[in-house]
Amino acid sequence: MNHLDAFSHRFADILFDALPAWRAYARYDDTEGVPAGTIYLIIPHPDDTKRLYIWTEDEEVTVGWCGWHTHFGRWLGISDEEAYQQAMSMIHDILSETVVVVMYFDHDGNVRGGWVCPVTEAYAYQKEHPGVRVCIRSWRGFYDRRLES
């Protein structure tokens, strides 16, 4: 961790204080494909499609999961500390299944988009868009569903 830039180092401290076992999944800039000064984590899951990705680059934290991702950084008009806390909140919400990933598909089965939301919003979306196939994914699988109208 000595080679991390200040932004990445501070986030790593916060992340590993909360989830110390995740140090084992960290890749640093001496790992192929990881930009200098940054950290990259792939959190394993028994279902490989549900691995959680977390990385820092360009002074932002990115959290990705099930084909969806989001960014937290100054360009959003927030401080670094707010970015760290928002990223940690998103990670917590994913792990606790407070939110799910929703992917929707066209009639040919092509992914048209995806987002993270509470599970009730996923069901509401599917009901409001008849004929759209919706796939819901949750970290532990409790809410995993394929919805078709």
pLDDT grade for 103, boundaries at 50, 70 and 90: confident
How many angstroms separate the Cα of 18 from the Cα of each of 30, 85, 88, 89? 24, 11, 9, 11
Residue 149 has a pLDDT of: 64
Q: What is the torsion angle, in degrees rounded to the nearest 10, for the CA atoms of residue 15, residue 136, residue 97 and residue 43?
A: -30
Q: Give dist(CA 75, CA 71) in Å, integer.
A: 10
The answer to whether 99 and 116 have CB atoms below 8 angstroms apart is yes
Q: What is the pLDDT of residues 21-39, one digit of tens each?
A: 999 999 887 667 788 899 9
**pTM exceeding the 0.95 threshold for the entire prediction:** no
pLDDT grade for 73, boundaries at 50, 70 and 90: very high
Closest CA to 22 of 91, 101, 89, 84: 91
Closest CA to 59 of 87, 91, 25: 87
